[in-house]
Amino acid sequence: MNAPEHNLIDLHALRTAEEGPGASGAKAVPDESRAKSAQDEPLQEEAPPRSRLGAIMLRQGAIDATAIERVADHQRGNDMLFGEAAVALKLAKPRAVARALAEQEYVSIEAVGASSIAKEVTAFHDPLSQDTESLRALRTRLAIDESRRLAQGRALTIAIVSAQRAEGRSWLAANLAVVFAQSGRRTVLLDADLRNPRQHQLFGDSSRDGLASWLSGRSAVPGVRPVAGVRSLDLLTAGSRPPNPQELIGSAAFERTLGHLSTSASVMLIDTPAASECADYSLVARSADVVLMVVRERLSRERAIRDFTARLAEIGKAPLGIVYNRQP
């Protein structure tokens, strides 16, 4: 597949500069030959203060003060992350780096070991992985839109869409929700795919109450539940499959639900059905502030991508970015 270059965000071409001695802060460093920014202006991530990784490791006793400068020099000279450099120099063990990064990103190592969250949620299970670093870089790119919405007193609402099934919508929605929550932002993940929902599987939620039962009047409360082990993340699953999914997604009750959830969060991510199966995605996209489109290597076809992009533009929701998913 030759993916269109318009606003292309290649997850595997994104890398974040981890904070270490002399670093100016967390920022996205894209490979310009493979990825283009969705905005022309630089993005500054609006988030609670994050301690530098070296300082955290020093406090935890994982590294001494004299070693930090050696690691920083190696990091700068080899275009590496601070943790990678520390391990490469054998000045810290991978487990120690993971524990320090977990503190930096608000992750509980103990919770990871006992969690029912699926291994596909890489941001939770492997905070040191390149996939997770790429997701943090994507989070940074979206931060300017988030700050604008918060200034208006509501959450940034992001719809994750794709032309066909198996392109990675649910994977991206789940992992992006985790990295937003790990940065200390109050985050809501909403599964609006009432036909083939997946978020309940990814997060080990067996409840039958969810969005569908709430919208159809069969539940007295929406059924938003906190995700164990991920501070600041709430999940509203799709619930039991209804006979009339499009009517529920197109209802005034759905709009009211989004409005209600938006007032209690900083970011809301919405998983949607594939466009090849129904028009539900367009109803969700119209209600979102930002649309991210997912395409997948060796699966997505260029003509389908272009046709789908044109359909989104027709409803006034041209994607802010096209996320190029290289997951096998």
| R_g of the chain, CA atoms, integer Å | 20
Query: Which tokens sit at 35?
Result: 């990825």
Residue 167 contacts residue 247 (beta carbons within 8 Å): no
Query: Does position 201 have pLDDT exceeding 50, yes or no?
Result: yes
Strand 233-236 and strand 187-191: the pairing is parallel
State the pLDDT confidence band at 287, using cuts at 50, 70 and 90.
very high
Residue 156 contacts residue 268 (beta carbons within 8 Å): yes
Q: Which DSSP string do the residues of 162-190 spell out, in sequence order?
A: -SSTTSSHHHHHHHHHHHHHHTT--EEEE
Q: Give pLDDT, residue 226.
A: 95
pLDDT tens for 75-100 read 888 877 788 889 889 999 887 887 78
CA distance 185 to 320: 21
Q: Report the mean per-residue pLDDT for the chain.
A: 81
Query: Does position 30 have pLDDT exceeding 70, yes or no?
Result: no
Q: Where is mean pLDDT largest: 9-18, 53-62, 315-324?
A: 315-324
Q: Where is mean pLDDT largest: 71-80, 103-112, 256-265?
A: 256-265
Q: Give pLDDT, residue 16.
A: 32
Q: Give pLDDT, residue 183.
A: 84
Strand 233-236 and strand 156-161: the pairing is unpaired
Q: Give pLDDT, residue 8.
A: 55
Sign of CA dihedral 41, 294, 173, 20: negative
Query: Does position 44 have pLDDT exceeding 70, yes or no?
Result: no
State the pLDDT confidence band at 220, using cuts at 50, 70 and 90.
confident
Q: Give pLDDT, residue 267.
A: 95
User: Mean pLDDT across the stretch 174-195?
Assistant: 94
Of 114, 57, 111, 106, the C-alpha closest to 86 is: 57
CA distance 34 to 172: 19
Query: Does position 182 have pLDDT exceeding 90, yes or no?
Result: no
HEC string of 216-285 equals CCCCCCCCCEECCCECCEEEECCCCCCCCHHHHHCCHHHHHHHHHHHCCCCEEEEECCCCCCCCHHHHHH
pLDDT tens for 51-61 read 588 888 888 89
Which of 7-11, 289-293, 294-298, 307-311 is least confident? 7-11
State the pLDDT confidence band at 105, using cuts at 50, 70 and 90.
low
State the pLDDT confidence band at 43, using cuts at 50, 70 and 90.
very low
CA distance 164 to 308: 10
**pTM of the shown model:** 0.74
Residue 292 contacts residue 263 (beta carbons within 8 Å): no
State the pLDDT confidence band at 27, using cuts at 50, 70 and 90.
very low
CA distance 67 to 207: 49
What lies within 8 Å, CB to CB, of 101 at 6+ separation is 53, 83, 107, 127, 128
